[in-house]
Amino acid sequence: MINKESVNKARSLYYGFFSKLFVFTNDSNRFAGVQEALDVMIENPIDENSGEALQEIKDYILAFGQEAIVQEYDDIFHNPSYKVVRNTASYYDEGVESGRKQLEVKNFLAKTKIRRNEANFKENEDSVGFIFTFMHELIELIIEGQKEYDTLQHCLFKEVINTFIDEFIIRVYEHKQSKMYKSIAIVLNAFIAFERMYFEVAKPPVKVVERVVKPVEQISSAEARRRAENKAKKAAGQETGTVERTTR
């Protein structure tokens, strides 16, 4: 039996870590805290495989720098030269973007003091990066004593994250441009297994979904120039302001 209060800080750390690696942003402070989080997680890994993967992530960043993360992220999730990995729960649930799962996440948000920072975060509420950030914020509120969010975090995991995350992890792991993100997928897989134990939720059966293939979202000319400069100069920046708390 897991002592839930004792592991919430670690869970918050993991969700915050994944948030930084899966949110599409333009803030130069995007990866602030990633190396520190890695150091903590490496000291106490979930299992041996994820421990090795965490060390691989750290070594990769030290060897190639944060700009390499940006380039790999772009290649996996946004570069039309490759088969991009879709990152919304609705896509894996219905085969279309902006579907039922987006509405579900919006409804969960409406029950909290957390709001999407629309000025900085452009992707759907059911995107992987936003969901992980949302869960991180919920756990932080619970740690602060707001136990009323216990049920909400359970619902967010069971009804949204758990329904699609396995296929997402496989697609990230198997992507031809996945190098560091292959190791990230290993860590995420181990963490999701832990979360299923935490929430006492079973792994769902494989779901066959007929999907509508749409062109990859076009980026602005300014964004295209930024990415070209990333490749030429090996320097990049990304953003952090995914969610913000409001008072009622």
Q: What residue segments make up the domains of the chain, in order of their start?
A: 4-233
Which of residues 210 and 104 earns the better pLDDT score? Answer: 104
Kindly provide the residue ranges of all beta strands, DSSP E only, lying in the chain, ordered along the sequence.
114-116, 243-245
pLDDT tens profile 172-199: 999 999 999 999 999 999 999 999 999 9
Per-residue confidence at 232, pLDDT binned at 50, 70, 90? low
Mean predicted lDDT score pLDDT of the chain = 87
Distances (CA, A) of 189 to 13, 163, 168, 192, 201: 16, 14, 10, 5, 15
CB 214 within 8 A of CB 94: no
Distances (CA, A) of 210 to 24, 89, 92, 93, 96: 26, 14, 9, 9, 9
**pLDDT score of 224:** 55
Residues 6+ apart with CB under 8 A from 226: 26, 236
Per-residue confidence at 31, pLDDT binned at 50, 70, 90? confident
Distances (CA, A) of 208 to 61, 101, 167, 189: 36, 16, 11, 20
Strands 114-116 and 243-245: antiparallel
Which residue, chain included where needed, has tokens 């000025």? Answer: 119
Buried b (16+ CB within 10 A) or exposed e, 155-190: ebbbebbbbbbbbbbebbbebebbbbbbbbbbbbbb
Per-residue confidence at 238, pLDDT binned at 50, 70, 90? very low
What homologous superfamily is domain 4-233 in, according to CATH? TorD-like (1.10.3480.10)
Query: Average pLDDT, stretch 27-54?
Result: 92
**pLDDT score of 2:** 78
Q: Give the global pTM.
A: 0.84
Distances (CA, A) of 186 to 73, 98, 140, 178, 197: 16, 28, 25, 12, 17
Amino acid at the residue 183: S
- The Cα 91–Cα 168 span in angstroms is 10
Q: Per-residue pLDDT for 43 more than 50? A: yes
Per-residue confidence at 115, pLDDT binned at 50, 70, 90? confident
pLDDT tens profile 137-163: 999 999 999 999 999 999 999 999 999
Residues 6+ apart with CB under 8 A from 180: 56, 57, 60, 61, 68, 69, 72
Number of helices and strands in the chain (H, E):
11, 2
- The Cα 160–Cα 126 span in angstroms is 8
